Structure formats: C-alpha cells, structure tokens
Structure 1
Amino acid sequence: MMAGHSDNDMGLPAFDKPVKIAIVIAPYYTAIAKAQLDAARAVLDQAGATHETIEVPGSLEIPTAIGIAHRLSNFDGFVALGCVIRGATSHYDVVVNESSRALTLLGMQGVCIGNGIITVENREQAEERADAARLNTAGGAAAAALYLIALTRRFGQPKGGVGFKPRPDVIEVAGDTKGPTTA
C-alpha cells in the first residue's frame, strides 16, 4: 500500500457512515504539491471518503485555514499538505516549528488532522517524500486523518464540559448542598 519508513501496514479503517475530508494544501512547489494531492486523494478514495481541496498561500496558513473550516463547516477531518525546503535564513525554522505547533494544538482540541507537511533540506528529499511509490507522506497523512476520525467515532460524542463535576452522591437543593446520600 504505502512505502515509507515503517513496515507496519495497518490498512485503512472502515466506516459505516460517510466521511468528509478537507485537504488543505500550500502549493508553493507546484510539482511537489501535485504529487502530494494525487497521493492523498488516492488513499481517501480507497477508503471511500469524499474530499475537497482548499489552497492557501503557504504552510503557515494551513493551521489557520483548518481552524476556520473546522469551526464553520462540517468536515470530519483534515489533511495538511505542503512542502518547506530549508533556505539560507531562519525563516525555515519559523515555518516548520510554528505550523507544526499550531496543527498539534488543533489536534489537542479534538480536530482530526493528518500532518503531511514535508520539511526537508533539499528538493531531492521533497520529491522522495511526495512520491506515492517511495515515502508517500501525503498518503500517510490521509490515512492518519482517517484513523483519527475512526477513533473519534469509536469513542462517541463528548460527555459534557471539562472541569469539576459534582459528586454523584451529593444532592443540591435550592442552593444548599446536602451531604452524601445513602441508598
């Protein structure tokens, strides 16, 4: 299925309800972006997921676009695609670290994201990672998004807010708390 560093082929999850994915891509390097899109779409099609592509100017804008789409649309998950090749300045470090950090923060809030932003030293490394027959990072990111959606569906709906919850053995009556109840 997917070539890469791992020899663990988990296959793809199966879904009983439709899955809708947004592929958010920064097509900064056209040929790399096309390879990434083709690879991600192939995995999503194989899983039977519908998908829509959203283009943004650069990798720093990917997390913002995902955050907006998550709040204002009905996507089940997201695939983040882009390519950042090291240059002569520290801008590379800013783009790599901040885009990754922002995607992680969105993920910690429950957004299902497969991160396929390629971060490399040179064009040759980028081509290897974008190639579906070689390292296929975009296909791996699509699979990761699908797994997170499956996990979310497995656990069901949120059980309520976060924070402190009253003890079930304490009854509150008109603002007064009565001690532990006995059955």
Structure 2
Amino acid sequence: MPRAEFDKPVKVLIVASPYYKDISDNQIAGAVAELDAVGAGHDIVHVPGALEIPTAIGIAERLSNFDGYVALGCVIRGETTHYDTVCNDSSRALQLLGLQGLCIGNGILTVENYAQAAVRADPKDQNKGGGAAAAALHLIALTRKWGNSGQSVGFASDILLAGGKTTA
C-alpha cells in the first residue's frame, strides 16, 4: 500500500519490549524510519515484556494525547507453554484496544527461533517494525478521514413525530 498522508501533525507512541535488545533496536529503527517518512512525531517507551505492551498503550490512551501506537516486541518459543500465553494474550489485548478505537500497529514478533526474529526485525529485510508503524499510520488516516467526513452524529435533521409533526 502507498504511505498514508496527513495534512495535520501526527503523534505516535512506540511501546517496545527490549527483552531481546538487538531485535528491539532493529524494530524501533524500522518504525522510526516509517514515521519519519510521513513527518510523524513519536515518543518511545520501554516495558519489561510483551504482556506489558497493551497495558502501557492503555495507560497512554487514558493519560496522554497520542494519535496512534506501535507495539514492538519479540516472543521466541521456549520449552514451556508460556510462549502460547504471551503470544495469545498480548495479541488479544491489542486487538481489544483496537476494537475500542485505538490505532495500533502490532509488531510483536512471535517466532520459533532467534534467526527468524532477526530476519523479521531487520529494517533492511522484512522490516516488521516499519510495517507495524505503517499499519498504525493507515488506521490514523482512516480515523481522521471518517472523523472529519462532515457527517453529523445523532439527529442531523428534523424528527418526524406521530401525527406528522416535526421538531428541530
């Protein structure tokens, strides 16, 4: 898809888990490059792990003024079922926030091994950090398009009452 375009400033929060610091650094580099390409401002915060990312986004939404969010982290399958819990719960929480109207690009990698993560995080290869930023920007653009469509909310015209009378 072509890059989203904006006529007003955009402010995005990147929430990253640096559990695998080099993977996180590459994801952030990809996201920042994508945001810079459209002139979007950004802040970056770090949280301990992927499970804390949705919580940090929820807090920021309540207490700050960001237009959108980029969730960046990496979960590599281990020997226990903890992998499944972290992958499913972080994804589900981000989806629920999105369904509430938040513009979130999900760049939490869920991979089998470190080599897969390195390829997906590399800004010069698959660039999933940049892809997550692009997704957030597209959602912001849609929100602005539909929010500024000029359509009224509620009763925009007269209300027809029983008996043929109208009210303004």
- Same fold by TM-score, threshold 0.5 exceeded? yes
**TM-aligned CA deviation for residue 160 of structure 1:** 5.2
| CA-to-aligned-CA distance 1:121-170 (integer Å, 9 cap, x gap) | 00000001001121111100000000000000000169658xxxxx9323
- Aligned residue in 2 for 1:88: 79
**TM-aligned CA deviation for residue 180 of structure 1:** 5.1
Aligned AA for 2:68? G
- Aligned residue in 1 for 2:130: 139
Aligned AA for 1:34? D
Secondary structure of the 2:110 match is strand
Which of residues 18, 27, 31 in structure 2 aligns to 1:40?
Answer: 31
Query: Higher Cα Rg: structure 1 or 2?
Result: 1
Say whether 1:114 aligns with 2:105: yes
Gaps of 5+ in 1: 1-9, 162-166, 171-178
CA distance in 2, matches of 1:24, 1:59: 10
Say whether 1:75 aligns with 2:66: yes
Say whether 1:181 aligns with 2:164: yes
Paired residues in the alignment total: 161
What RMSD, in angstroms, separates the aligned Cα atoms of the two structures? Answer: 1.7
Aligned AA for 1:125? Q
CA distance in 2, matches of 1:57, 1:19: 26
**TM-aligned CA deviation for residue 11 of structure 1:** 2.1
Which of residues 25, 39, 52 in structure 1 aligns to 2:16?
Answer: 25
Q: Structure 1 residues 142, 181: closer, same or farther in 2, change over 3 A?
A: same
Secondary structure of the 2:159 match is coil
Q: Structure 1 residues 180, 19: closer, same or farther in 2, change over 3 A?
A: farther
CA distance in 2, matches of 1:180, 1:136: 63
| CA-to-aligned-CA distance 1:87-120 (integer Å, 9 cap, x gap) | 0000000000000000000000000000000000
Secondary structure of the 1:101 match is helix
Gaps of 5+ in 2: none
Aligned AA for 2:62? R
CA distance in 2, matches of 1:137, 1:48: 19
Say whether 1:11 aligns with 2:2: yes
Structure 1 residue runs of 4 or more that deviate by more than 6 Å after TM superposition: none
TM-score between both structures, scaled by the size of structure 1: 0.84
CA distance in 2, matches of 1:56, 1:160: 38
Say whether 1:51 aligns with 2:51: no
